[in-house]
Amino acid sequence: MDLKNIIRDVPDFPVKGIIFKDITTLLKNKEAFEYTLDALYNLSKNKGITKVIGIESRGFIFGGALAAKLGAGFVPIRKPGKLPAEKLSETYELEYGTDKIEIHKDALDSSDKVLLHDDLLATGGTMKAACNLVEKLGAKVELINFVVELSFLNGREKLKDYNVEALVSYD
């Protein structure tokens, strides 16, 4: 299945000059959704994954489904102020400023082999921060996967120490 023909381009979102890759057209298509979930599962099965981490918020969609399919637990990484229990945070650089993500301190331990999932790889800053959180909690990043990669933004460079997979790449 050619996912590029299903993923919608939205010009000038969230700001003028950006072409946003919108996966909601993929999500509403039953066959494309199932195909994408199966493809992500095939990249991650037989790796001994014990926890799947989804990055807020679109990473929760396939992340949760992957966790169920892999027989693993699901852990959300969220924006500040969204998690109720004791948490660990990581600040990362944006083009103009910084941002922060958080994980519960008791979400992982040293026995966990983690799959990190998000819908899209752009510059890699958020995912690198997520990797840092996983490692601070003593777990191992086994695999990182995405539905879409914007390869022209060189996000893989920040993730060069990890096994990274994407189903669709835009140059």
| Residue-wise pLDDT tens digits, 17-58 | 999 999 999 999 999 999 999 999 999 999 999 999 999 999
Residue 157 has pLDDT above 80, yes or no: yes
pLDDT of residue 97: 79
Q: Is 8 a catalytic residue?
A: no
* Three-class DSSP category at 128: helix
Active-site position among 56, 58, 156, 165: 58
Domains and CATH numbers, the chain: 48-170 (3.40.50.2020)
Which backbone phi and psi does 170 adopt, to 5 degrees?
-115, 125
Active-site position among 31, 34, 78, 95: 95
Q: In which band, very low, low, confident or very high, does the pLDDT at 132 lie, cut at 50, 70 and 90?
A: very high
Q: In which band, very low, low, confident or very high, does the pLDDT at 94 lie, cut at 50, 70 and 90?
A: confident
Distance CA 140, CA 82 (A): 24
Q: Is 34 a catalytic residue?
A: no
The 8-class DSSP code of residue 78 comes to B
